[in-house]
Structure 1
Amino acid sequence: MTGDHEPLPPGGRELPALDGGLPLIGHGIPFFRDPVGFLARVHSSRGEAVAFSLPGRRMASFCGPQANALILGLQDDTEVDRHLFYDPLLAPLLGPGVGLTAPSELMKWQHSLLLPLLRRDALTRHIPVMFDEVERYVAPWDGHGTFDLLAVMRDLSARIAACCLIGPRFGRTMGPALPRLLGRLEAALFAFAVIGPRGPLPHGLADRARETLVHAIKEIAPRDCPEGSERSHFEELMRATGPGGSSLDEDTAAALMVNWLFAAVPTTALAAWTGVLVLQHPQWLPVLRAEQEAAFADYPPTTLSALHKLERLSHCLLEAERLHPPIVVLPRPAARDLNIHGYRVPRGYVVCASPGLSHRLTSVFRRPEAFDPDRYLPDRAEHRTTPQALIGFGGGRHPCLGATLAQQTIKVIWSALLRAFDFELADPEVREARTTVMRLPRRPCTVRYRRRKR
């Protein structure tokens, strides 16, 4: 690629092809069993670029910050066609014509409808809502006991997303049903990724969960006004005017909100891994508590500046993103023959960068297998030594819109929990689950807790 992202004339070296794939499923079994380990092995043997097969698609995998920057900088429509990859996966899951399955101009407009909920003033309004949800959730807990970490993070991230993005009444009315429905959508997404979009089981699972959520949103959200607002977020969507004077009907507006809620699933993964890593390295607990005492003049805090002072917690969160990024690969389907990093990529191949593999490069990160939040201190700042080194929230032309909201959610959850409780992992050996797209911690992930004396 040239600096202005115009495609070079087709040419260059042929992609080294990985052999040994099975008919129809290609290399799907080793990839879905351990995607980062699989990619690490194939790049170690074949070099910086390699082609392999997954069910229904040919993959062109690249490794390294320079390749990441090229791939994440590819232009929509002229160089990549996201519909080739996302429509079969997301249309049956979250509904056609919304989010990533919408045409480019319509997608940009739909994204713009979320932005008012992500601006600085909105993020400030979300702070007391987030703390209140965590306090409500843990209020019934006894003085000591155990809980499943993944279940708690699922509940909290879903409730917070619902209250902030749809409305407080919706979040509290749905209660534990909401994370269960989002979990079914995530399970269906994994099934679609593994066996393709034709199987009746994932379709049924996705349809029932999505229809339940759409119905609940249409019933509750129109009258669910956030505190201090005269209109609900749903009403704002219905009033919006899009390209060519278009507008949203109730079903499409509700489907768009389902897309917003589904973003709570990667937040769940990152919140859970942040907790796992900190509890596996308990020397960080007094550091994080001392930082919180210094940052919060009053509790709960009401300003973004107070949360921004939690730099050590931010470093732990970044390290969780580096070691356990929720998204395994960042796919960019080639809309035409491309020349990437000197390799010819045929049209229709899915070009991908891997956060999990890129985040463990010894050329970028010192002792990459180690949990080392100090690597983000200003005098080291390993993630800033090269562009696109840390890509757990995407990057380039399509960074995650909700990255700041997700990070704020995780900071609030762990600030509230660490203030109120002492924690210990029942079993410090926690592995990634193999049957989830987001690479969640394997269950049960049991945590012992004890209320702290104020």
Structure 2
Amino acid sequence: MTIRDRIPPLTSIPLPNAVDRRLLTRRRPVSELAAPPPGSGLAPVLGDAGAPVIGHALASMRFGIDFALHHYETYGPVSWMGSFGQRFVVLAGPEATQVALVNKDKAFSQEGWKFFIERFFHRGLMLLDFEEHHLHRRIMQEAFTRDRLTGYARQFGPVLRDGIANWGETGRPRLYWALKRLTLDVATRVFMGMRSESGHAARINRAFVDSVRAATALVRFPVPGGRWAAGLAGRRTLEAYFAENLPAKRRANGEDLFSALCHATGEDGEQFSDDDVINHMIFLMMAAHDTTTITSTAAAYHLAKHPEWQERAREESLALGDELPGLAALDELTTLDLVIKESLRLTAPVPSLPRKAVRDVDVLGHYVPAGSFVNVSPNTNHFSPGHWTDPHAFDPERFAEGRREDKSHRYAWMPFGGGAHKCIGLHFGTYEVKAVLHEMLRAYRWSVPEGYRMRWDYVSLPVPVDGLPVRLTRAV
């Protein structure tokens, strides 16, 4: 039997129930995405549609990394799969990823993102293309200079210290949800200049959560009570809030991101319109707090599983003393650097990067026709045995000088994306995660039962299925 005939059943993932077995073991016919042009010498892209209409969406959400790796092992770096009623070309592995993200011929647009999040994050930076994206990014960079980051750190430091100190000894808290509340408090304070205890904060935070979850709704219509309808309502709430508060931000010159975007100026005097500021704020709030929560949770989980690393990191944090750390102090926490990088490798906060081919394109000798939705898979790159030693193991030292396995290929490690659309807030996010973990290390020790293994839910961005229950005790 060849790959053209049928997909081999997936046997490397535990299948605890009949639904999972049906999702992953049913054999499906393989077909070509499209016939290559005669004489082109290109190979067709092979794949399969999966289940009717939903394709492989449920399997991908249910099994995340394991499913992505199985698909890659079955088809190789260029394939296609059915999902959400569409055919998606899947580019996996560093070499295929590089073609799409370097995008030297401008063959790939951000239209792939628009399929998922346009209705909720309209004209956010990640959804813009080419010259327009370059202009907006150049203006926005003014909100992420070292001086601006220093100001943001001054604001999030007290929020994190007070919030984490108030956790107390609560037996086995669900750490993900505690961290999510904390990072939402940071986002409302640092990004919007709003106190978390204000009457608006809870409503605004709920609107962000609803907007994020709506992106991967299987029913993509505003059915009352459904995720899509909740996301649309959330978007309206956010637009109204930012529009109401924008004039005051224009008049003042505060340290929050909202103010920074209102006053950001490009090299030639360009500034954002009111609509631009609103659209970028809604997108950046989503991008900032969700990815920070996921990364903090992943790092905390690995520190719980590996107490020797927790103690090593705690020693460095205690050495900083009791002052709230600025950027220079956070830079000294080198153990946390290694742990965070390895946690980002094992759990990419954004596990897929959608694109759309705007013209026929050759990807590693395969014919991808114009109009194809394309999905780049960081997860696959992060577990490539050709680029990482024992890729499923937690091994922060792989990022230490002398090994630097992340340098094996430009796109072996890519939790922040790459190319022109590489995450503009990566430094802000890294500093916030380090500050979160630093405050946790000062205040607590935490652990999980021996043999515990956290499982991620990939319905939207990764979320621990059980919220990550930990045993939390005071550090001293």
**How many angstroms apart in 2 are the aligned matches of 1:142 and 1:245?**
49
3-state SS of 1:366 partner: coil
Partner of 2:466: 443
**C-alpha contact 1:169 1:224 (8 A) present in aligned 2:** no
**How many angstroms apart in 2 are the aligned matches of 1:262 and 1:11?**
43
Query: Match for 2:294 among 269, 274, 279?
Result: 269
The farther-off stretch of 28-37 and 398-407 is 28-37
Query: Match for 2:77 among 40, 45, 48?
Result: 48
Amino acid at match of 2:234: A
Partner of 2:119: 92
Residue 335 in structure 1 maps to residue 358 in structure 2: yes
Partner of 2:397: 374
Partner of 1:63: 92
Q: What 5-or-longer segments of structure 2 have no aligned partner?
A: 1-36
TM-score, with structure 2 as normaliser: 0.82
Q: What 5-or-longer segments of structure 1 have no aligned partner?
A: 1-7
Amino acid at match of 1:325: A
Q: 1:29 to 1:146 in 2, by over 3 A?
A: closer
Cα deviation for residue 199 of structure 1 reads: 6.0
What are the within-5 Å matches in structure 2 for residues 179-258 of structure 1? 179-191=205-217, 194-196=218-220, 201-220=226-245, 222-223=247-248, 229=253, 234=258, 237-238=261-262, 250=274, 252-258=276-282
Q: 1:270 to 1:10 in 2, by over 3 A?
A: farther
Q: Count the aligned residue pairs.
A: 437
**C-alpha contact 2:382 2:412 (8 A) present in aligned 1:** yes
Residue 433 in structure 1 maps to residue 462 in structure 2: no
**How many angstroms apart in 1 are the aligned matches of 2:70 and 2:355?**
22
Cα deviation for residue 362 of structure 1 reads: 0.9
Cα deviation for residue 298 of structure 1 reads: 5.1
Amino acid at match of 2:58: I
3-state SS of 1:344 partner: strand
Partner of 1:387: 410
**How many angstroms apart in 2 are the aligned matches of 1:316 and 1:94?**
31
Cα deviation for residue 374 of structure 1 reads: 1.0
Amino acid at match of 1:140: N
**How many angstroms apart in 2 are the aligned matches of 1:236 and 1:434?**
33
Residue 284 in structure 1 maps to residue 312 in structure 2: no
Partner of 1:4: none
Q: 1:284 to 1:108 in 2, by over 3 A?
A: same
Identical-pair percentage: 24
Amino acid at match of 1:431: R
Cα deviation for residue 407 of structure 1 reads: 0.8
**C-alpha contact 1:222 1:235 (8 A) present in aligned 2:** no
The CA deviation string for residues 117-140 of structure 1, in whole angstroms up to 9 with x for no partner, is 311111122222222011221343
**How many angstroms apart in 2 are the aligned matches of 1:136 and 1:176?**
18
CA RMSD of aligned residues (A): 3.1
**C-alpha contact 1:273 1:441 (8 A) present in aligned 2:** no
**C-alpha contact 2:214 2:230 (8 A) present in aligned 1:** yes
Partner of 1:119: 145
The CA deviation string for residues 214-264 of structure 1, in whole angstroms up to 9 with x for no partner, is 3333445654699x9568754554556789998655455333211110112
TM-score, with structure 1 as normaliser: 0.86
Partner of 1:30: 59
The farther-off stretch of 114-123 and 359-368 is 114-123
Cα deviation for residue 171 of structure 1 reads: 7.9
Q: 1:127 to 1:249 in 2, by over 3 A?
A: closer
Residue 365 in structure 1 maps to residue 388 in structure 2: yes
**How many angstroms apart in 1 are the aligned matches of 2:338 and 2:294?**
17
**How many angstroms apart in 2 are the aligned matches of 1:41 and 1:233?**
41
Q: 1:142 to 1:327 in 2, by over 3 A?
A: closer
**C-alpha contact 2:88 2:372 (8 A) present in aligned 1:** yes
Amino acid at match of 2:70: R
Amino acid at match of 1:321: L
Partner of 2:347: 324
**C-alpha contact 2:253 2:260 (8 A) present in aligned 1:** no
**C-alpha contact 1:134 1:416 (8 A) present in aligned 2:** yes
Cα deviation for residue 281 of structure 1 reads: 1.4
Amino acid at match of 1:90: I
**How many angstroms apart in 2 are the aligned matches of 1:218 and 1:393?**
30
**C-alpha contact 1:167 1:221 (8 A) present in aligned 2:** no
Partner of 1:140: 166
